[in-house]
Every structure is written in C-alpha cells, then in structure tokens.
Amino acid sequence: MDRGNFVYNLLENCDSMLDIGCASGYYTKLYAKKCKEIIGIDPNKDLVEKAKKENPELEFIEAGAENLPFKEETFNTVILSDVLEHVQDETKSLEEIYRVLKKDGILIITVPHTGLFSFLDVDNYSWRLRQHPKLYNFIHRLKGREAPKVKEGYTNKHRHYSIKDLRILLNKFEILNYKRRGLITGYIGNHLELFSRWIFNKTLKFNRIRYLDSNINFGRISDSISIIAKKSE
C-alpha cells in the first residue's frame, strides 16, 4: 500500500481539508473524495501549475508550511504526508498548522522513522555528496551535466524522527494514535529506481517491491511512522 492510500484510509469525512506539500495534486484528488472542500499547497511553483492543469476542479496555492495563507480555524483536517522532514522550520510549520485547524481538528502526519535502515535513505545521498564538492561535481560531469545548485536556505537533508522527537514537536497537540510500518523493501525499491535513472537515464518504477512490507509494523526498527493528532486547547 502506498502512502497516499495509507493516509486515505486514515481519513474521516469532513467539511474542509488542507493538503500540505501536495506536489502535482495526485493524492489531493484522492483525498478530495472524503471532504466537501480541499485545498492543496506546495512551495514549488511548477508543481502547483501542473496540479491546477491536471485537476481544474480543485484549488491549489503556491505556499510553504511555514506561512500558511489562511485565517485561523479554517480546516477540519490537515495532511502533512512525507513533508515535515523537508521543511526549513519544523516548529513554525506546526504552529501554523495549529493556527489554521479548527477546534478538535485533526492533523495526519507521515514521516521517515529513525529505523534500522535509515542510513539507506536515497534522498540523503546528494546531501552527503555535497559535503565533498569536488566529488559531487565530478560525478555529475561523468553524466555530461552540471551539478544542480541548492536554493539558498535549503539543505535538502532528509530528517528522520523517533516517537520521542514527534511528541516534543507536537506538544500543542493530543496524539490520538501512531503506527510504525515498513522496514527494507521501500529502500530497495528506491535504490533500484535511483540506479535505473543513472544507468538508463530514465526512472523505472519498482512499486511492487517498494510496498511489500509497507503495512507491517516492525516496531522500533520500522522505516516510517504515521501519527493522528488532535488540536487541543
């Protein structure tokens, strides 16, 4: 089961929903089946334009989690799926989410867990390579292209979290439920896709491999964690 369907199964029907980090709106369209009104936001202008084009019936806004362009107590539900690990300011982002949630509103979070195989996170390979600029540039030149530059203010490091970390960050919320899941097949699938991109210059999908163990709880060594939290006064 992929993360979008996993989150969808956690959702209850509601009047208003915010999907933070919606990208091209693929999952926003799925989540829309469980609410009367949904808005997707993403800081990437190109992705927002793509989302608008592919889903003209839905609303998408270019914005980041740290500065949500909404009034207080606007949404019944906020989705933050595989996004918190990317934001520049976790505390500010969660404060903004708390602000725009209605009383007793629900926040659903999925993030990478500090599990047994966290070191295999392919999203951190580029970050590690950038600590060695000469090697980083050399590897990209082998592929006949310039190394991509990172936007100012972005480290692109993929953070991982423990339950303790999330309890501290969510101190204004009441945690209703949490679940650890997945172990290794997600990392295997991601590595196969990474290698296919470098070898064949295109990404081959290995979804069947990636999601083999994605719904199994491996406890403290799991690679992902989901949390359902409620806005508490």
Q: Give the model confidence (pLDDT) of 13-69 as tens digits.
A: 999 999 999 999 999 999 999 999 999 999 999 999 999 999 999 999 999 999 999
Percent of the chain with pLDDT over 70: 95
Q: Is residue 209 part of a domain?
A: no
Q: Rounded to two decimals, what is the model's pTM?
A: 0.87
Q: Is residue 170 part of a domain?
A: yes
Query: Per-residue pLDDT averaged across 111-123, rounded?
Result: 89
Is it the case that residue 154 has pLDDT exceeding 90? no
Q: Is residue 5 part of a domain?
A: yes
The answer to whether 60 and 51 are in contact (CB under 8 A) is: yes
A 10 A CB-CB count for 103 gives 10
Q: Is residue 122 part of a domain?
A: no
What is the spatial order of strands in the sheet that 224-231 belongs to? 59-62, 35-42, 14-20, 75-81, 101-112, 224-231, 173-181
User: In angstroms, rounded to a whole number, what is the distance separating the alpha carbons of residues 200 and 203?
Assistant: 8
User: In angstroms, rounded to a whole number, what is the distance separating the alpha carbons of residues 97 and 41?
Assistant: 13
Q: Is residue 148 part of a domain?
A: no
Q: Which pLDDT tens digit goes with each residue over 10-24? A: 899 999 999 999 999
Q: Which pLDDT tens digit goes with each residue over 155-208? A: 567 899 999 999 999 999 999 999 999 888 888 888 888 888 777 777 777 777
Mean pLDDT of the chain: 88
E-strand spans in 69-134? Answer: 75-81, 101-112
Percent of the chain with pLDDT over 90: 59
Q: Is residue 147 part of a domain?
A: no
Return the CATH number at 35.
3.40.50.150
Where helices occur in the chain by DSSP H, the ranges are 3-10, 26-31, 45-54, 90-100, 125-130, 133-142, 163-169, 185-200, 207-210
Full domain range(s) for residue 5: 1-114+158-182+217-233
Q: Is residue 228 part of a domain?
A: yes
Q: Is residue 201 part of a domain?
A: no
Count up the domains in the chain and report the number: 1
